[in-house]
Amino acid sequence: MKLLVCAMETSSNVHLKELKKHLREDVEFLGVFDKELGEPLYDLTHLAIMGFVDAIKKLRFFFQLRDELVELAKDCDKVLLMDSSGFNLPLAKKLKHTYPEKEIIYYILPQAWAWKKKRVEKLEKYCTKLCSIIPFESEIYKDKEKITYVGHPLLDEISDFKNNLENTNKIIYMPGSRKTEIINHMDVFRGLTKEIKDKEHILIIPSKFDKEYIKKTYGDISNFTISNDSHKILKEAEFGFICSGTATLEASIIGTPFVMSYVAKKLDYFIGRKFVKLPFIGLANIFFWKMGEKAIHKEYFQEEVNLENLLNEYKNMNRESYLKNSQTLRKYLQYGSSKNVANIIQN
């Protein structure tokens, strides 16, 4: 089976690697994905975008990429789209128009429950099957047969959790995987390494980045130990400083106390805040809010992301309460996502 894949995000490819373990050996990936999984059209480092402004600058390239993928789909049996709704929804539309009978599966759905609810109509119109990783997500969909809650993929990928708190003398820093995120966080993170004494400060850098890119984007990293194994270090660390994204949910599931931060371009942040009508950004916090509970971790944005605020949370967070909430979160999300999606693709 030839499967056209479009997985442009770092986190999507983590899920895709786990999914591949449950697919038959004859399933071949074509399209956009991590080079560890085959021979993609483009290196993922050239595809990463951060916010609305960056997306506009690369518009011409993404139109070209869309057309290339549509052409490539001609020889594929099925299509798998993952996350990246700004690109994948228009791609789904063109694929549906070009190949009306071809099965299009969407895994890691756009967060229409947070904003842009009209995307639900497009997803139901252009896609054959919708694989949801959010328990309450199906509430906003009309076609209940098309959407399936498959479980959250992180619970397939993470097998080791914290059952108690201990001082390991390791602090994890995760400034994100997009250039703007990294640049906006590193000065504060460097400051934290100087204030928090007698600890090993471990910086997570995605393995796809080469030495030249790391030097240009991260700046001085001499105070850090470098790792690209986020799951392992999250389990070992006693505390984390983490940029908004999938990593905050990883930490919440594992049980590693942390504080979330997010610094975006001012225009992107203004637009996001105007349209997203939710009290939180962190997924774990949103889940607890949906359950009628208090937030599981602290969130800081823009100018709030400073040395004083992050250091204060490190010193004063109620870690025992957080650990109990982490156990509740794991029960809420359920297991089996990768295997369930593999069955949907192969049936």
We report the CATH number of the domain holding residue 126 as 3.40.50
Q: Is residue 128 part of a domain?
A: yes
Q: Quick one: which of 341, 345, 15, 276 has its CA closest to 156?
A: 15
CA 167, CA 170: separation in Å to the nearest integer? 8
Q: What is the mean pLDDT of the chain?
A: 91
Query: 117 versus 20: which is more confidently predicted?
Result: 20
Domain end point (choices 104, 119, 149): 149
Q: Cα 85 from chain centroid?
A: 13
Residue tagged 């509970």 (tokens): 293
Per-residue confidence (pLDDT) for residue 19, from 0 to 100: 96
Are 232 and 325 in the same domain? yes
Are 245 and 286 in the same domain? yes
Are 43 and 129 in the same domain? yes
DSSP-H helix ranges across 196-318: 211-218, 230-236, 246-254, 266-275, 283-290, 307-316
Q: At residue 268, does pLDDT exceed 80? A: no
Split at pLDDT 50, 70, 90, the class of 279 is confident
Average pLDDT, integer, range 119-133:
96
Q: At residue 345, does pLDDT exceed 60? A: yes
CA 37, CA 269: separation in Å to the nearest integer? 34
Residue tagged 């605020």 (tokens): 309
State percent of the chain over pLDDT 70: 93
Are 16 and 132 in the same domain? yes
CA 106, CA 262: separation in Å to the nearest integer? 27
In the chain, the N- to C-terminal Cα span, in Å, equals: 12
CA 181, CA 178: separation in Å to the nearest integer? 5
Per-residue confidence (pLDDT) for residue 269, from 0 to 100: 61
DSSP-H helix ranges across 36-145: 51-57, 59-72, 85-98, 119-126
Amino acid (1-letter code) at residue 5: V
Q: How many contiguous H segments (helices) and E segments (strands) does the chain have?
A: 15, 12
CA 293, CA 315: separation in Å to the nearest integer? 23
Residue tagged 């975006």 (tokens): 264
Q: At residue 276, does pLDDT exceed 70? A: no
Are 326 and 186 in the same domain? yes
Q: At residue 128, does pLDDT exceed 90? A: yes
Are 144 and 185 in the same domain? no
How do residues 42-93 score in pLDDT, each as one tens digit?
877 667 654 545 566 778 888 999 999 999 999 999 999 999 898 999 999 9
Per-residue confidence (pLDDT) for residue 150, from 0 to 100: 96
Per-residue confidence (pLDDT) for residue 311, from 0 to 100: 98
Of the given ranges (50-54, 151-155, 279-283), which has the lowest mean pLDDT?
A: 50-54
CA 255, CA 161: separation in Å to the nearest integer? 6
CA 134, CA 150: separation in Å to the nearest integer? 9
Q: At residue 12, does pLDDT exceed 60? A: yes
Q: Which token pair is 29?
A: 């990936």
Are 295 and 176 in the same domain? yes
Average pLDDT, integer, range 227-239:
94
Are 62 and 117 in the same domain? yes
Q: Cα 17 from chain centroid?
A: 14
Per-residue confidence (pLDDT) for residue 55, from 0 to 100: 61
| Highest-pLDDT range among 152-156, 277-281, 322-326 | 322-326
Range of the domain at 243: 170-333
CA-CA-CA-CA torsion sign (16, 154, 229, 300)? positive
Are 199 and 145 in the same domain? no
Average pLDDT, integer, range 217-223:
97
Per-residue confidence (pLDDT) for residue 157, from 0 to 100: 87
- Phi first, then psi: give them for residue 199, nearest 5 degrees: -130, 155
Per-residue confidence (pLDDT) for residue 265, from 0 to 100: 72
Domain tally, the chain: 2
The DSSP bridge pattern shows strands 299-301 and 258-262 to be parallel
Split at pLDDT 50, 70, 90, the class of 104 is very high
Average pLDDT, integer, range 159-174:
93
Are 200 and 111 in the same domain? no
Domain end point (choices 118, 149, 180): 149
